[in-house]
Amino acid sequence: MTFVDGPVRVRVPATSANLGPGFDTLGLALDLHDRLEAEVLAEGLRVEVSGYGEGAVPLDERHLVVRAMRATFDRLGKQPTGLRLSCTNVIPHARGLGSSSAAIVAGVWLARELVAGGRLLLDDAALLDLAAQLEGHPDNVAPALLGGFVISGQDGDGTFWAVRGSVDPRVGAVVFVPTTPVATKAARGLLPAAVPHGDAAANAGRAALLVAALSGHPEELMRATEDRLHQEYRRPAMPESLALVEALRRDGVPAVISGAGPTVLAFTDGPGSSGAEDLVARCPAGWGVHALTVDGTGAAPDDGAA
């Protein structure tokens, strides 16, 4: 096995999981991208980070992208003698927009591209399996890798799977990003061990409707984004986010908690539309806001274009 000369570059999208009723199984890629570059060196490890995480994340073997790269090199059968990694991060950390999944997908993708013939040795299905193993679940890594709207899960034998669904071109999103993070582990810790059968049944129906709504019936998004499994239980960790979701929904806007929160995602017609502009204007003071389209590509070579 040999390594390629020169750097390889990748852009990986932010993702929103759950989308209301699709707990741990539905995810959507959004056009907000981290950009990374890596190359093999003769020796040592050099890690550079700008944007989110700068001055906060470790710049050694503990860095999540490096750990994902090492796991991929192990799977491929050979570690390089040295590595350089440069990360330009725009996906907010610990906000429910898939920053850790983007890091993992970037790492496995870069490592595969640094190996001559890497795509023959590790296809996309194997790359998804490895990324999901590293993350622990596939709902964010699947759309980060594949792009678009993805239904994913894990079989009883441990096999991870992912199927892309279609997205109506009229569907866009506005995300409202609070200043205070919420750790995924903390958000999950608020969930009960069991839920009422009626709530589970209601969510199953809404999740099925959501697949149809996103693919061609966006007028059903309000009903399709109702949730009874996880959002309300997480209120103690993100009361302001739940209050915004409720306010938007009272006004007929299909709004949900993005992933484990605390970011709020509201479906709309896309950037530049009057609906998106109206939503951006409702951003709480001090929060960040982005009007986004759906990213249909997923992890891909970075040509430097915006």
Whether 94 has a binding-site annotation, put simply, is yes
Whether 20 has a binding-site annotation, put simply, is no
H-helix segments, the chain: 64-76, 99-113, 118-121, 124-135, 141-146, 184-189, 197-216, 221-224, 239-250, 274-280
Pairwise CA distance, residues 110 & 34, whole Å: 13
Dihedral sign, Cα of residue 225, residue 266, residue 149, residue 159: negative
Whether 206 has a binding-site annotation, put simply, is no
Whether 17 has a binding-site annotation, put simply, is no
Whether 97 has a binding-site annotation, put simply, is yes
Whether 102 has a binding-site annotation, put simply, is yes
Whether 92 has a binding-site annotation, put simply, is yes
Pairwise CA distance, residues 74 & 164, whole Å: 28
- For residue 3, the Cα-to-chain-centroid distance in whole angstroms is 29
- For residue 118, the Cα-to-chain-centroid distance in whole angstroms is 24
Whether 93 has a binding-site annotation, put simply, is yes
Whether 16 has a binding-site annotation, put simply, is no
Whether 55 has a binding-site annotation, put simply, is no
> Smallest Cα–Cα separation from 20: which of 236, 200, 186, 224?
224
Whether 117 has a binding-site annotation, put simply, is no
List the binding residues for ATP.
92-102
Q: Name the binding residues.
A: 92-102
